[in-house]
Each structure stands twice: as structure tokens, then as C-alpha cells.
Structure 1
Amino acid sequence: MSFTPDSRASLSRYWSTIEASAGIGQGRPGGLARLTLTDSDREMRDLFVSWCREAGLTVEIDTMGSIFGRREGTDPTLPPVMIGSHLDTQINGGRFDGIAGVLAGLEVVRSLNDAGHVTRRPLVIVDWTNEEGARFSPPMVASGVYAGRYALDWAHDLISDDGARFGDELARIGYLGEKPCGGEVDAYFELHIEQGPILDAEGREVGVVTGGYPSHGIRVRFTGETAHTGPTPMDLRHNALVAGARFLTAVDDIGWDYAVHDGKATGSRLAAWPNKPGILSDTAECVADVRHPDPITARVMAEKMRRAAQEAAARAGCTAMIEDEWVWGGDIFDAGLIGLIRGEAIRQGYNWRDIQSQAGHDAYHMAPRFPTAMIFTPCKGGITHNNNENCTPEDIAPALNMLLHAVVARADR
């Protein structure tokens, strides 16, 4: 058997790995709650490592806990072609978000093993740690360290809601690796479910991702003062919980102001302390973001979001400090790789369209440093970050086969 233009991945074998993953860290019916660096994350990591080794890959773990499975090329001196995504999930996550992409990389390797084809450049499959940011904020932190956006020590010192330290949890589950973060990459590919309704609504088989919605996010800490809810006069209150609530409502209003042109604004987190009856909260932490297809408009929305934090604090008699800010998206993906993927869609006869990503992905951190591209597969109704997230094998097959051939074309050049 050899690798030919008509070669196809084994859909049944691929789907068996999806089903095995779906049994680890189960949450609500049909979904997953496999938060990063938890015991269920360790169990999934262990299974993935065993699959990599069975496929003949050399496995390394870096100092952020990301897992790299390397298949050597005929010229091992060349930078590798990398295929990646993540195996961690949201607290009410689905079975495909990120997982579909990591396991697609594994299936590419297995298909090449079946064909007896060794690419010129090495291939590396990667499972990035903490893409979701559901336990440790911000999201996509390990790929950010790999690409030089974040410092390793800063990432290791991140603290979760349950008081755990990122670096300590890596060590606890046995995935504090020794491989330094970073290294040269020839190209980075990421297959992902769309996480939106466009492909499904249009009956498209696959999406060629041309870029991402410019997105701006912030983490804000409001500081006030505890006091009794009964006798404390309104003009003497410094309720951080109220400041946070006002801020998040203002962010939501920003989204509605720009919704006609597909702008979006989200208040996704409010964590206050003490957050108990009978006492005003003296601290509140909020996370919010804005997104818009036009980068200038996105920046305007971001400035309004920053001002809303200060205005909310002033109205509640508190102070506001922006502790973290991030920017993602734009026209960041490589034109050559986009053309390669689009060419495969045409050659293989799939019903495709160009599409922008509206969610964050590890590819966003990789793109400024290395040629990067993404392939989207449809998901039913665009439902995601939800236990009802759903795809069929037939939904994913076109993207999987396009990934296989695009990777080989890039790695053999």
C-alpha cells in the first residue's frame, strides 16, 4: 500500500478515538467536564500518550505540560510540520471542541503508517495545555508561552478558583515536563469544529479559515469594602459585587450596540468575595471581551469596555484595575497554507467556503511566529461549549481528509 492522491483516512478508527475520549471526564449527559490539570485530564493525557507511542511516535512533554508526539522525516534536520489543538474542555464542554483536532493529527500519522509513507519533514502532533482557560485564566496559555507571548514563570504562577497553582498542578498529575517551550516549526495546522452555525446552516462540508475576528479581552479587579447590608447607608457603600455587575451589564450593552454588523461583547465571569448574604463584597473579578469583523470597530468597542470598568467602579464607590488584557485574531493565517487547503477542498470535490473564526484557538498564538492555517468542520446548529455539541463522522470526514493531504504536501516539499 502506498500514499496516493486518492488516499483517505480511516474514519472508523478516528471515530473510535473520539468515543474513547468521550468516556473520560464526563459531565452533563453527552458532554465533558475535563478541566485542565485535573485527574480526568491526566487520564486522557495518559491515553493519548499511549496512542502516540503505539503509532511509533517519540513523545516529549514541555515545561508547560504540552504533549508532543514526533514522527521522524527522511530529513530530521528540517523544522517539523505540526498538527495540534487541545484535549481539555469547558466545565460544560462538548465531545469535539479541540479534541477533534488533536485526534485528527493522530489519524494522519496512523494513515501514513498504513501507507508506509515517510514525509521529508518530521511531523509533530501537539496537545496544548489549558486552551480553554476554564480553570486557569487566560485561555490558550501554553501555546502562548511556546510562541513567546507569555513568560513561563508567570504561567506557572497562575492560580485557579480552587486555589491551585498551575505549576504545582502540572507536577501533581505528572506532566511537568523537561522539554523547553518553543522551537522552530515549518507550519502549523489546526482542525477544529466551527463553533458557529454558518457551515451547518449553509449545508457546507468544510470551511477554509482565512482569519479570525479581531478580539479584545480584559480581566478586571474591582476593590471595595465589606460592610453590613442592613445599617450601612447607601452613600457609604463600596460594593465590589455591584461594580462588577454594572460593568458586565455595560459590556453586554456594547455588544447590542454593534450587533447589526455582527459585533459581539461578552461578560463571561464574575467572582466576588465574600459573596454572602448580609455582607457587601470587597473584591470582584470580571472577565469580558469584545469581537467584531472590522479591526477598527473592535478597537473602539475595546476602549468603551475599558471606560465601562472605570464608570462602573465609580458608581459603586470602588476602584477598578485592569489586571490582564489580550488581543487575538485578524488576518493572521498564512496565504500559502490557505491556498493549499482550499486547493484540497476543490480537488477532493467538497462543498466548501472561506470563513472567519469567531472563537479563540491556539493557532492564534502560533500564527504570528509560524505559517499557520485552520480547517473548520461543521457542528450541528453551531452549538458548542455545551454538552449538546454534536458532529457525525460524516461531518468531520472532509476536513480530516483535507488535513491529511495538505499536511503531506507541506511536509514533502
Structure 2
Amino acid sequence: MQTNQRIDGKRLWDSLMAMAQFGATPKGGVRRLTLTDIDRQGRDQFRAWCEALGLTVRVDAIGNMFARREGRDPARLPVLMGSHLDSQPSGGKFDGALGVIAGLEVMRSLNDLNIVTEAPIELVNWTDEEGSRFGRSLMGSGTWAGIYPIEMTYGLQDPEGVRVEDALDAIGYRGEHPAAPFPADAYFELHIEQGPILEQESKQIGIVTGAQAMIWYDARIVGQDAHAGTTPPSARKDALVAAARVIGLVDRLMRDRGEDGRGTVGYMQVLPNSRNVVPGEVKFSVEFRHPADAQIHGLGDSFPAEAQALMAGTGCTLELTELFRLPAQPFDASCVDLVRQAASRLGFPAREIVSGAGHDACYVARHVPTAMIFTPCKDGLSHNEEESIEPHEAESGCQVLFEAVVARANRSL
């Protein structure tokens, strides 16, 4: 390393492991669903760590947490960094948490080194990046960015009928500050790649230039419940068979677009979900992703009609609701260059990469100059309890984050 300003890799790793105890699963992963009591425990620990450093913590109306370290010049706009602490139902230790805990380590190292930056620095824990409980990915950053009106967000319900507003109140994290953009100089987010490219190419750092486009749907197919033993084929209105046709279409449309195509049905609810009843209703998710906006727009134009055509002869009806259409999001060239310079200065093998996943950075980038840093993860596996990274990979990513954030906070205006 070509710097004498080092983060503490062991302390970073120990804190990652400590956070992973909140919602730890028997298989070594994490179940820390947003706005649950387990999430509250993780948030409380994060707040305690930040306040122990002398940071000022504020919470906005959607539960986003901001921990501020003052700079020398109070007139300067803050440099932001962060990610999320919520997880998938069977998630890993590092998805999201790496970015938050690495940001905490940056703050600790600044204190250790007695560094006073010119600009303030703020560490962010965004609410519900995963979307696994309330069905809106990037909910906290999306509400902050004005993508989701807060009245709509508050009204979202989980499968048990719990509303977001009530869940926030239940854990004490509906803050008094507006969930709205405020002036900031930059935003940096460290994250595991969640894919295999960096590991396959033996690269230590991914210099993320942007994120691909995506489109999400909620689908509902309604047929008719019927006795499995007495209902002949001609009388069946099997919603699950109709859903299978749509799922096959999603897979074909993905494969038609080659290795850049992505199409997934990741959530399904079959009703009444009984062994001897023909399914009368199926609810499921559909998403497509691609680096090119034109491909996503084309899918948005063609997929609904093709899916409806598959209902012919099934006796079923399809309701398809487009949840959002997210354009490809380029990141700020000057912020990306700071990541590039840091990786080079530190001697880390690196490559430029486009994010295949959506991240809070995608919505933040609509208001604030933004860049991301990727670290490898074993076999590219994520959203899985076996998700894994090595301590030196976490340390390298955090060191690049430190370099980029400090450089931005101390830049000449």
C-alpha cells in the first residue's frame, strides 16, 4: 500500500461479525428483515457505535439514518457514504452491511489518525434496500430521492398486513427529519459484487461506472379452485399452469438477449396451496434487467401483450402491474475517477464494471454525484446464507473507500 493512512482491517472484520449476530441463521447467514425487532437491534448497535465516535445521528421520516462527522469548513457540503443493514429472508453477512460497517471503519480511522477533513462526512444506513418484506426495493433511498411518495410508502403492507408506517413506529425509527434530498457534495457506496466477474479475473476492486436498467412487475393470475380428483382437463382453470407459461416466457425473453439478459420470477404465492386442490390463484413477481435502456423499454412494450396472449385457452385472467422502470444509471465521472485513482495508488488489481444489481446508489445518483466500489465475493454468490468474502477483500475495499472519501472531502473548490 502506498499510503500511511491505514484503516484497521481486523476491527472492520470484527465489527462485520458483530453485526452478523443480529439475525444470525444456523447456516451462517443473516435474516434481518427491514423494520423488524431484529432490524431495530442492528440499528441500535449502529447508532451506539456512531455516537461513541462523537458522530451526530439523525433519522428521517422513512427511517434512513445519517451519522455526521463535522469538517473544518461548516459551509462545505457533506460527502456521503453508506449502504444498508437489512437483508433478504435467507441472506448473507455482507450484502449491504459491508458498505455501512466499512463506512463506520472510515470514521473510526479518521478519529485514530486525528484527521479533520475540510468537508463534513456523513455515513448513511438506508431503510429497506432489499424490498423483501414490503415489495419495494430501494424503498428508503427511493423515498428520499422522491421516486416513491412517502404517503404511498407508508401504506405498503407486508404479507401479514403490517403497514410500513406502523412498522416504523413499532421499532421507534420514524424520524422527525424529512425524507427528502438535501444538498451533498458526493456519495460513495462500497458493496460486494454479487456476481463472479471480479473473482474470475482475479481483480481486487471493481470500479463501478454505473448500473443497468430494470423493470419490475407484480403478476396475479386468477383461475378457479377445484377438486384435484374430480375435475377433468376440459373443466380446469388452473392458475399455476397459466403462471408456468408466463414464467417460461420470462426465461425465453431473457435468453433471447444473450449473456447480458436477465429475467427472473423470484417470488410466488399459490392459493389455496393445498395438495388436492387445483390452484385458483397465483401471485408472483417478474423482473427484467439489461445494461441498455432500449432493451428494457422494448420488454416493457412487448412482455405484457405476450403474457396476456398465453392466457388463451386456460380459462384464467392475468393482471400485470408495472411497479417501476429504472433506467440505466451512469455514475459521476469525477467520483468514479477517485475510486480508480485510489485503487491504482494502493496497487490493487482493478477493472471497470457495470452493476448488475440495483443499489441505493442508483437513486442517490439522481441528486448527488455518486460512485460505487465493488469487492469480490466467493463464486459470485449473494442473496444466500453461504455468501462469503475474505477479510483482506473487505479491508481492500474499505481502504479504497477511505481514500476516495477523504480525497473528495479535502478537494479544492
TM-score class normalised by the smaller sequence: over 0.9
* SS of corresponding position for 2:199: helix
Q: What is the Cα deviation at residue 282 of structure 1?
A: 3.9
Match of 1:226 in 2: 225
Q: Determine the C-alpha separation between the residues in 2 that align with 1:194 and 1:207.
A: 8
In structure 2, give the amino acid aligned to 1:268: G
Deviations 1:193-235 (A, max 9, x none): 0001111111111010011222222122223343444444544
Note if contact 1:328-1:360 (Cα within 8 Å) is conserved in structure 2. no
1:145-224 alignment, distance < 5 Å:
145-182=143-180, 183-224=182-223
* SS of corresponding position for 2:287: strand
* SS of corresponding position for 1:370: coil
Match of 1:368 in 2: 366
Aligned match of 2:375 in 374, 377, 380?
Answer: 377
Bigger shift: 87-96 or 301-310? 301-310
* SS of corresponding position for 1:89: coil
Match of 2:23 in 1: 25
Q: Determine the C-alpha separation between the residues in 2 that align with 1:127 and 1:315.
A: 49
Q: Determine the C-alpha separation between the residues in 2 that align with 1:140 and 1:232.
A: 44
Q: What is the Cα deviation at residue 331 of structure 1?
A: 4.3
Q: Determine the C-alpha separation between the residues in 2 that align with 1:306 and 1:109.
A: 48
1:121-140 alignment, distance < 5 Å:
121-140=119-138
Bigger shift: 215-224 or 196-205? 215-224
Q: What is the Cα deviation at residue 126 of structure 1?
A: 0.9
* SS of corresponding position for 2:39: helix
Q: 1:272 to 1:308 in 2, by over 3 A?
A: farther
Q: Determine the C-alpha separation between the residues in 2 that align with 1:331 and 1:59.
A: 29
Q: What is the percent sequence identity of the aligned residues?
A: 43
In structure 2, give the amino acid aligned to 1:342: R
Deviations 1:225-254 (A, max 9, x none): 434444445445443333323212221122
Q: What is the Cα deviation at residue 314 of structure 1?
A: 3.8
Q: Does 1:325 align with 2:323?
A: yes
Match of 1:410 in 2: 408
In structure 2, give the amino acid aligned to 1:263: G
Note if contact 2:293-2:327 (Cα within 8 Å) is conserved in structure 1. no
Note if contact 1:251-1:308 (Cα within 8 Å) is conserved in structure 2. no
Note if contact 1:243-1:315 (Cα within 8 Å) is conserved in structure 2. no
In structure 2, give the amino acid aligned to 1:17: S
* SS of corresponding position for 1:275: coil
* SS of corresponding position for 1:207: strand
Note if contact 2:80-2:186 (Cα within 8 Å) is conserved in structure 1. yes
Q: Determine the C-alpha separation between the residues in 1 that align with 2:186 and 2:311.
A: 45
Q: Determine the C-alpha separation between the residues in 2 that align with 1:394 and 1:224.
A: 53
Q: What is the Cα deviation at residue 89 of structure 1?
A: 0.8
Q: 1:167 to 1:309 in 2, by over 3 A?
A: farther
* SS of corresponding position for 1:70: strand
Note if contact 2:208-2:371 (Cα within 8 Å) is conserved in structure 1. yes
TM-score by length of 1: 0.94
Q: What is the Cα deviation at residue 27 of structure 1?
A: 2.0
TM-score by length of 2: 0.94
* SS of corresponding position for 1:133: coil
Q: Determine the C-alpha separation between the residues in 2 that align with 1:358 and 1:233.
A: 45
Note if contact 1:193-1:376 (Cα within 8 Å) is conserved in structure 2. yes
In structure 2, give the amino acid aligned to 1:311: A
* SS of corresponding position for 1:268: coil
Q: Determine the C-alpha separation between the residues in 1 that align with 2:323 and 2:396.
A: 37
Q: What is the Cα deviation at residue 412 of structure 1?
A: 1.8
Deviations 1:43-93 (A, max 9, x none): 111111100111111111111111111112223333311111111111111
Q: Determine the C-alpha separation between the residues in 2 that align with 1:176 and 1:233.
A: 53
Q: Give ranges in structure 2 of 5+ residues lacking alignment.
A: none
Bigger shift: 173-182 or 315-324? 315-324
In structure 2, give the amino acid aligned to 1:220: A
Q: Determine the C-alpha separation between the residues in 2 that align with 1:335 and 1:347.
A: 18
Q: Determine the C-alpha separation between the residues in 2 that align with 1:65 and 1:345.
A: 33
Q: Does 1:251 align with 2:255?
A: no
User: How many residues were matched structurally?
Assistant: 409
Match of 1:79 in 2: 77
Q: What is the Cα deviation at residue 315 of structure 1?
A: 4.3
Match of 2:86 in 1: 88
Match of 1:290 in 2: 288
Q: Determine the C-alpha separation between the residues in 2 that align with 1:180 and 1:351.
A: 41
Note if contact 1:44-1:87 (Cα within 8 Å) is conserved in structure 2. yes
Q: Determine the C-alpha separation between the residues in 1 that align with 2:384 and 2:410.
A: 39
In structure 2, give the amino acid aligned to 1:379: C
Q: Give ranges in structure 1 of 5+ residues lacking alignment.
A: none
* SS of corresponding position for 1:398: helix
Q: What is the Cα deviation at residue 338 of structure 1?
A: 0.7
Aligned-residue Cα RMSD (Å) equals 1.9
Bigger shift: 384-393 or 319-328? 319-328
Q: 1:315 to 1:373 in 2, by over 3 A?
A: farther
Note if contact 1:212-1:357 (Cα within 8 Å) is conserved in structure 2. yes
